[in-house]
A and B are shown apart, each in its own frame.
Chain A
Amino acid sequence: MDLQGQNGLMSTYREPWRTRNAVAYLVAFTLIGFYTLMYFRDPLHVEGTAFDPDGWAAAIGLRSRWLLYGMLYSIAMIGGAIYYLKRHGNSRYNRIRISVNVAVQVVLAFTLPLVMPLFFTSDPGEFWKYEYYFSYFWPLDWYKLHPGTLQNAPVVLAVYSIVGALVVAPMLAYFFGKRWYCSWVCGCGGLANTFGDPWRHLTSKSTKSWRFEKRAIHTVLAVAILSTFLLILDHLIGDQHQTFRKYVAGGEWYSMKSLYGYVVGAILAGVIGTGLYPLLGPRVWCRNFCPMAAVLGLFQKLGRFQIKVKADMCISCGNCSTYCEMGIDVRSYAQSNQSFTRSSCVGCGMCAHVCPRGVLKLENAPKLQSDKKRQRLPVVNL
């Protein structure tokens, strides 16, 4: 068995459902509808109707719609992983990466939140305290560092939240690139790389989309940090300043806390981020909006991860760019013999996998002088 390189030709653009045809639109509308019901169950007043996701969950004996969501999510990932590994499983990197990612989802993001409360409390009202998702960190899970959340959580979990978000995650990104999270652990990335994989070529490679990505993702990051800061401030002074509290942490729809949840958590991550898979590619959220990806990207840029380019061997075929789910024009770097680190790269390894000349290689290595020398232009330097 071959362990690297793409095995056989793909017929991507000859499969209509993968190229924005009616079926793709139908899938997109279904997903958007599902996410809308999930996130806007209360404002839509579907309670008690056939469209109530909590009702669906209760019907199969689950405590809440979020556990139902976790279950459907896991099923979608397992199905997608089978599809993915059938096509690209000859590569050992792909096999290991996808297996780890699916296992993390099934164990840490579904099974543990489902069963953990049963061990620690018998009061159903306390269950939420122990429905802890170990694979999500602030700022992706924006609520994890709120003083209120930390205060109510068991000490071990509070420490895990703080150290994980502020120390471990950035440190791992420095040494291994953000891929350790975005394409090995994270559920959003995992769904994109399994269920969403058939549409990975749809991510736009245009300069325009790159410009948008840089602005959008750093805006969301700034908002995430600033809003967390305001919530801490509210925790300190909110008791004395009721108007401040009302607009920052209040329960009304127009408070900052609610708006962040609706706009970033529900619309950008859920409805658009996943709903538009079949139309704009599977990484719409990860590429353009995820604040966690933005933080890890900065550490990746400073750190050791890079895509190494073998000098003067690229034939500019463009398979790498075509199949980059983050819209990176990998070919332009390969053509100019430039090993590179892009902060958006999630290290899925597909560019190296589909390269017919073995020009690209993902690696974590200290950036040496010799690598910089490789980046010279060959023959002439205009």
Chain B
Amino acid sequence: MRIVIIGNGVAGMEAALGVAARNPEWTITIVSEESDHFFSRTALMWVVCGQMSQRDIEPLERDIYDRMGFRRVRARAIGVDVNEHMVKIAGGHDPIPYDRLLIACGSRPRPGPWPGSDLDGVGSFVTMQDLEWLETEIHGGASRGGAVTRSDAHLALSTEDSPYQPRKSLRGERGGPPKHPVVVGGGLIGIEAVEVFAAAKLHPKFLIREEWFWPMAIDGQESAWITERMRGHGVDVRLEENLESIEGEGAVASLKTDVATHDCDLLVVAIGVMPNTDWLEGSDLARDRGGLLVDAQLRARTVDGEVIEDVFAAGDCASVEWFNCAVRPEQLWYTSRDQGRVAARGLCGDTARYARGHWYNSAKLMDIEYTTAGLVNMNVEDERNWFFEETGKVRSTTRIVLTGTGDDERVVGFNLLGRRWDHEVLLSFIEQHRSLQWVLDHLAEASFDTEFVPPLRVPREARSNIGGPAPSAMREPVQPPGV
């Protein structure tokens, strides 16, 4: 059996290891343009600042491909012929035949929609090539942990529109690191880029279109704390400022927003990622806003909607069904890993279903830890929010989302900053339809704080601190889960 996997990320690698564990004699070919080795994209920021080395962000030892007998092709796939069972490769490389195919090619950075987005000095912070670019711009090159290995080995077998093309550094012309670095886009990639600039003492400007940072996940009072922390680290946070155009002759020189004009000699565009599936244009595979449409077994569909038995998609590039029946990509590390495992079973010929379950996530915003579970900022029917801000030795905020009244009152979501929590326990509270007062009595069970940290104490008078619904991007009210 010939298995071909496009993508060397967590979904692709989990699938490859899963297939090899069951069928060591099958040939597994991994096609990847970006990198020779499987690495953790989530850790790029630590490589730039020097906290981790290039090798440190690779979860597996480098000889894994040889040990498992995986064949690697460092090239760009430019199409799939689902009838002939062929993957077409750029640069005149022979097409690769497959018996079963997994597409796990991930995301690409969303390009800036503004005039001037193609100027030199404008880039993103998503790929290995972005990492190399920012390392050069900020620090003049890789740390002593080592440079990206063979970062350009794919270029002969790539195309112009690839997201993995190297980007030109302006450090030489500028004669040093950027004096006016700007990050546009108030989300997770944005704040990571900002933190990297701030750590290098470059005092970045952070342009955020919305009223506060990351409104999709946190509310105004939570965000105020994070903004305060960013400003404390020398970041110039600009809220409610819309970028209109990027100005400059050849290279970026300034930014025009609806409020002011800012000097800028380096711009990181961090307005999200989108499925990296442009290369499938013309292949008979159905996509919705880029995400490959799949069934519950992660099998791809033809444009006519028919399930293809031997083509699977997993990870960021697949549109899967969410808890609220919406169909869109899930751009998370651990769901990609789980999808890779389900795809592995599919590739082995089993019937395995992917089930997402509740929403939960975590992040670290500057040095503030964030955990969320359940329905938060989701415009739940009859939503109310209980909020408590802890000050003192530990600073934290606790927000609990409720729905229903009287005996029907129950908790449906948690948004927590500054402390560590076990989302599994929080989700069990939600599944058990617990009331707010019950949850407050039992909150300590979900604590995951490190040892010696004093536990969260909610004073009696704060227990009834219930406010209205939180602002949400969801227009239609969301039904609370009927578990």
Contact = CB atoms under 8 A, between A and B. Distances in A.
Given A319-B46, A358-B369, A382-B22, A3 B52 contact: no
Contacts of A21: 144
Contact of A11 (B50, B58, B344, B453): B50
Interface stretch (A101-109, A234-242, A305-313): A305-313
A322 B56 contact: yes
Interface in A288-333: 310-319, 321-322, 331-332
Interface string B51-76: 11100111101000000000000000
Interface string B448-476: 11111110000000000000000000000
Contacts of A317: 40, 42-43, 46, 52, 57
Interface stretch (B208-216, B286-294, B406-414, B420-428): B420-428
Contact of B352 (A5, A19, A380): A380
B452 A312 contact: no
A20 to B, nearest CB: 8
A4 interface: yes
A336 B412 CA distance: 28
A273 interface: no
Nearest to A335: B59
Top 5 A-B residue pairs of the complex, sorted by shortest distance between their CB atoms: A14-B50, A358-B420, A13-B145, A317-B43, A13-B143
B451 A319 contact: no
A200 to B, nearest CB: 12
B452 A11 contact: no
A16 B143 CA distance: 9
Given A3-B394, A21-B144, A353-B450, A14 B49 contact: yes
A311 B395 CA distance: 25
Interface in B81-122: none
Contacts of B49: 9-11, 14
Interface stretch (B259-267, B331-339, B375-383): B331-339
Given A6-B367, A312-B334, A322-B52, 18 more contacts: A5-B367, A10-B49, A13-B52, A14-B50, A313-B334, A313-B362, A316-B59, A319-B43, A319-B51, A331-B59, A361-B448, A361-B450, A362-B451, A363-B451, A378-B338, A379-B355, A380-B342, A380-B344
26 contacts: A2-B394, A3-B393, A4-B420, A8-B199, A9-B199, A10-B50, A12-B50, A13-B145, A14-B49, A313-B360, A315-B42, A318-B40, A318-B43, A318-B56, A319-B51, A322-B51, A335-B337, A349-B450, A352-B450, A358-B369, A361-B420, A363-B451, A378-B338, A379-B338, A382-B21, A382-B341
Contacts of A316: 10, 40, 42-43, 59, 333, 337
Nearest to B52: A322
A23 to B, nearest CB: 12
B355 A4 contact: no
B364 interface: yes
A1 B393 contact: yes
A356 interface: yes
Interface of B: 10, 18, 21-22, 40, 42-43, 45-46, 49-53, 56-59, 61, 139, 143-145, 195-196, 199, 233, 333-334, 337-338, 341-342, 344-345, 352, 354-355, 360, 362-364, 367-369, 371, 393-395, 418-424, 448-454
A313 B338 CA distance: 12
A318 B59 contact: yes
A357 B46 contact: no
Contacts of A318: 40, 43, 52, 56-59
A206 B452 CA distance: 32
A6 B45 CA distance: 14
A21 B143 CA distance: 13
Nearest to B143: A13
Given A2-B394, A3-B453, A9 B61 contact: no
Contacts of B424: 310-311
B369 to A, nearest CB: 5
Contacts of B196: 9
A91 interface: yes
A331 B50 CA distance: 19
Nearest to B142: A13
A201 B145 CA distance: 11
Contacts of A13: 50-53, 143-145
A96 interface: yes
A93 B371 contact: no
Contacts of B139: 14
A327 to B, nearest CB: 13
Contacts of A312: 334, 338
A92 interface: yes
Contacts of B58: 318
A15 interface: yes
B102 to A, nearest CB: 15
A22 B354 CA distance: 53
B59 A358 contact: no
B25 to A, nearest CB: 16
Nearest to A311: B424
Contacts of A356: 363-364, 369
Contacts of B40: 315-318
Interface string A334-376: 0100000000000001001100111001110000000000000
B68 to A, nearest CB: 14
A234 to B, nearest CB: 45
A30 interface: no
Contacts of A96: 452
A2 B420 CA distance: 12
Given A4-B450, A14-B139, A352-B450, A319 B342 contact: no
Nearest to B341: A380
A93 B451 contact: yes
Interface in A97-136: none
B18 A382 contact: yes
A163 to B, nearest CB: 28
B429 to A, nearest CB: 16
A5 B369 contact: yes
Interface string A51-92: 000000000000000000000000000000000000000011
Nearest to B334: A312
B448 A358 contact: yes
A149 interface: no
A207 interface: yes
A243 interface: no
A263 to B, nearest CB: 32
Contacts of B368: 2
Q: Which of B50, B145, B345, B363 has the most CB of A within 10 A?
A: B50
